[in-house]
Structure 1
Amino acid sequence: MALDQSPALPLPKPGLPRFGAAPRQLTLVDRTQDTSDIVTFTFRNEGGALHYLPGQAIALDLPMPTGTATRTFTLSSAPLGTAELSVTVKAAPDANATRWMHDHLEVGQQITGRGPFGQFSLAHRFGRPLLLVGGGSGFTPMMSMLRWLFARGEAVDVTVVQVARRVEDLLYTQELAHIAANMPSLKLFEVVADPAPGESWHGYRGRPDRAMLRSMVPDASRREAYCCGPQGFMDQIRRCLVAEGLSPAHFHTESFGLTAPKAQPVGKAVEQGTGHKVTMRGRTFEVAADQPLSAALAGENIRVPTGCGAGQCGTCKLRLVDGAVDMRQDGGLSDHEVAQGLILACCSTAKGPITLEDAS
């Protein structure tokens, strides 16, 4: 990805613009095999320049043979005022939607996306030195933020830590080397957790612990930290940094599309006759009137795909066959989808007896 060196500009001020998470027609214009199981897909937004904040996410509607599957991914590209945007996607051999992307999504194909959305962006907070930590494909939002800082010519003090399992799994190595050579305010560290036998690696190795992080970031307590990766990885980094004096208020995480959907809170126990009856997947049960349906259904061991949990990404679509709900979405559904009877489980509560079915 070519980066234009633009003059340094002030970091954003409070009251950042809120970009509507509207449906968008996207055309795949490039795909790059980054590692054996990670591909970067670059799309052109047919509506023109896409405005977003570094670290935000987008939802993609994937036209799979079994029906449309909506998946959410953090953007790995930087918002530089162009119509192109990229997502960097990992797919395990037994994956479903992401495996379909790797095997079948070809240049020239058009799909529908929705976004941007999410609060995981350094643009919301400024005035402190930065720490960007990414594990595996969770490094992609860190790359979006770093590309943005570099393209703007920012001189902010930033430390970047990328953690990968093997040397071959490290992402963007050539581009990172170029940025590091031309951004004096950047300190870049790459960590390989489990080098293969005979694999040459002279950098940090092993899983990051408190001693390793202290060696790389001795002044972590004064930084604004952003972390993305598997949940266990983020929990470990948080524990270490808090132990080193970082306030939890200055530690921010996100995991759109990079791990399994976040576990939903278990629905509250409902005393018989006090809740609303829900019929779905051949079962009828009661849910609390004030419980989001995603959580209420999870309490009944009925899982629906989830993404943002805030009514923005459209991942948790269900079809309302009968009854009424109170839905407080934030752009996750188009007016047409609402008219078709679709709802979002994460931001809907039952207003009475309802019947639901899967959207696809």
Structure 2
Amino acid sequence: MNVMTDPGLYRHLDEMAPWNDRLQVLEVIGITDEAPEVKTFTFRSDAQTWFRYMPGQFITLELPVSDEPIMRTYTLSSSPSRPFSISVTVKAQADSIGTRWMFDNLGVGARLKAYGPGGDFSHHTHPGAKYLFLSAGSGITPMMSMLRWFSDCAPGTDVTFVNCARRPEDIIFRKELELLNSRMPGLSLAFIVEERSPREGWSGHMGRVDAVRLPLLAPDFHEREIFCCGPEPYMRAVRDMLQQAGFDMAFYHQESFGAPPVEPVSPPFAEAQTEAAEQAAPVQEVVPVHFSLSEVDGECLPGQTVLQAARASGVRISAACEFGLCGTCKVRKISGQVEMNHNGGILDDEIAEGYILACCSRPLGELEIEA
């Protein structure tokens, strides 16, 4: 049956359950060319569930590039105000492995395992009276997710959006952004390109965002909640510029999948875990770890994480970032206690339910894990 005419697809939201990344996979339903070497992949759930997430969050895709799948984390460019599908917009760099595999192998109907959503780079977690979005290249994706949400749910929101690209043809979502700019009275949109192009005329801003240009494009930037995403050199330059301008960096937020520059901190644990963590440290001896689903009895050496112990025992736990941010390695702890230092990849209610991040959890004693 043609899936586009399948009456089973037409269900009310209250008749559907939210997507569960532990039980369901994603099915590709659309692929769109956005710019040179940039594509949007749109997915639905293979179990006809709906997607609940915050604008600006990310998911991690499990890509079967070889015998051992690789994990790649991508920001969602779609908006949760349209909950029946999700999209990632990805750019294939010269050294891309996972993204290039997606370009060459994914077609409509293909299925992938995915984990998430995760992250707190969202105006829902950092609300403001007005916003300044600064993005470069494919860093536009979380901004697009938030802007699409504003367009659907709060179109009068005061947003200044400055997007940078190498050339005019490299501006991702340009036509849609220009359309939104004509329909959202509170949106002020500016593009800046580094180079002119023989393929497309350009009469707009040239160069980069700097201490002279920013006050011209956003005169009241000191009063705005700022979100920034792009290559690390770009974000570093923006941070330095804002600090030198005396901006209160408590209102600055950036998305990065690199290791955080600060020491990870532990969130509130369940009461029993808090007491155990206060009274004990990771044991300095080999401790047994039972992986229940795999029916494997392993061991964790002094200083090892649960993830390292699993790998040493031949048990596969999916993992991407491996510093407690993406949440991909989330597993349920059946018994025992751990010390867990993460960077936002797990929620407090998930911890209360017994879940841990294997990459940043170390046993406080004998442990049983659902893996």
TM-score, reference length from structure 1:
0.71
Q: Is the 8 A contact 2:29 2:43 kept in 1?
A: yes
CA distance in 1 between counterparts of 2:100 and 2:66 reads 13
SS of the residue 1:126 aligns to: coil
CA distance in 1 between counterparts of 2:322 and 2:20 reads 15
What count of residue pairs does the alignment treat as equivalent? 298
Q: CA deviation at 1:226?
A: 0.4
SS of the residue 2:102 aligns to: helix
Task: Quote the residue 2:7 is aligned against.
Answer: none
Unaligned residue ranges in structure 2 (runs of 5+): 1-18, 264-282, 287-300, 309-317, 366-370
Q: CA deviation at 1:153?
A: 3.7
Q: Which amino acid aligns with 2:338?
A: D
CA distances 1:189-218 after superposition (whole Å, capped 9, x unpaired): 111123346852211111221111111111
Q: Is the 8 A contact 1:22 1:115 kept in 2?
A: no
| Change in CA separation of 1:199 and 1:20 when aligned onto 2, cut-off 3 Å | same
Q: CA deviation at 1:317?
A: 9.1
Q: Is the 8 A contact 2:128 2:224 kept in 1?
A: no
Q: CA deviation at 1:171?
A: 0.7
- Say whether 1:142 aligns with 2:155: no
Match of 2:346 among 330, 340, 347: 330
Q: CA deviation at 1:240?
A: 1.6
Q: CA deviation at 1:312?
A: 4.4
- Say whether 1:310 aligns with 2:311: no
| Change in CA separation of 1:203 and 1:225 when aligned onto 2, cut-off 3 Å | same
- Say whether 1:347 aligns with 2:360: yes
Q: Is the 8 A contact 2:133 2:228 kept in 1?
A: yes
Task: Quote the residue 1:41 is aligned against.
Answer: 41
Q: Which amino acid aligns with 1:242?
A: Q
| Larger RCO (CA under 8 A, 6+ residues apart) | 1
| Change in CA separation of 1:222 and 1:106 when aligned onto 2, cut-off 3 Å | same
SS of the residue 1:187 aligns to: strand
Moved more, 233-242 or 161-170: 233-242
Q: Is the 8 A contact 2:119 2:325 kept in 1?
A: no
Q: CA deviation at 1:244?
A: 2.8
Task: Quote the residue 1:12 is aligned against.
Answer: none
| Change in CA separation of 1:233 and 1:35 when aligned onto 2, cut-off 3 Å | same
- Say whether 1:121 aligns with 2:134: no
Task: Quote the residue 2:152 is aligned against.
Answer: 151
- Say whether 1:30 aligns with 2:42: no
Q: Which amino acid aligns with 2:49?
A: G
Task: Note the 1:1-360 alignment, pairs <5 A.
Answer: 22=22, 24-45=24-45, 46-196=47-197, 200-256=201-257, 261-262=258-259, 306-307=320-321, 309-310=323-324, 312-314=326-328, 326=338, 328=340, 330=346, 346-349=359-362
CA distance in 1 between counterparts of 2:326 and 2:23 reads 11
Q: Percent identity?
A: 37
Unaligned residue ranges in structure 1 (runs of 5+): 1-18, 267-273, 278-285, 295-303, 319-323, 353-358
| Change in CA separation of 1:177 and 1:207 when aligned onto 2, cut-off 3 Å | same
CA distance in 2 between counterparts of 1:230 and 1:325 reads 39
Q: Is the 8 A contact 1:51 1:81 kept in 2?
A: no
| Change in CA separation of 1:35 and 1:58 when aligned onto 2, cut-off 3 Å | same
Q: CA deviation at 1:136?
A: 0.5
SS of the residue 1:122 aligns to: coil
CA distance in 2 between counterparts of 1:317 and 1:123 reads 23
Max Rg structure? 2
| Change in CA separation of 1:311 and 1:180 when aligned onto 2, cut-off 3 Å | closer
CA distance in 2 between counterparts of 1:102 and 1:145 reads 25
Q: Is the 8 A contact 2:64 2:70 kept in 1?
A: yes
Q: CA deviation at 1:53?
A: 0.7
CA distance in 1 between counterparts of 2:218 and 2:138 reads 22
Please, what is the CA RMSD of the aligned residues?
A: 3.7
**TM superposition outliers: structure 1 runs of 4+ over 4 Å:** 19-23, 263-266, 274-277, 286-289, 291-294
| Change in CA separation of 1:175 and 1:201 when aligned onto 2, cut-off 3 Å | same
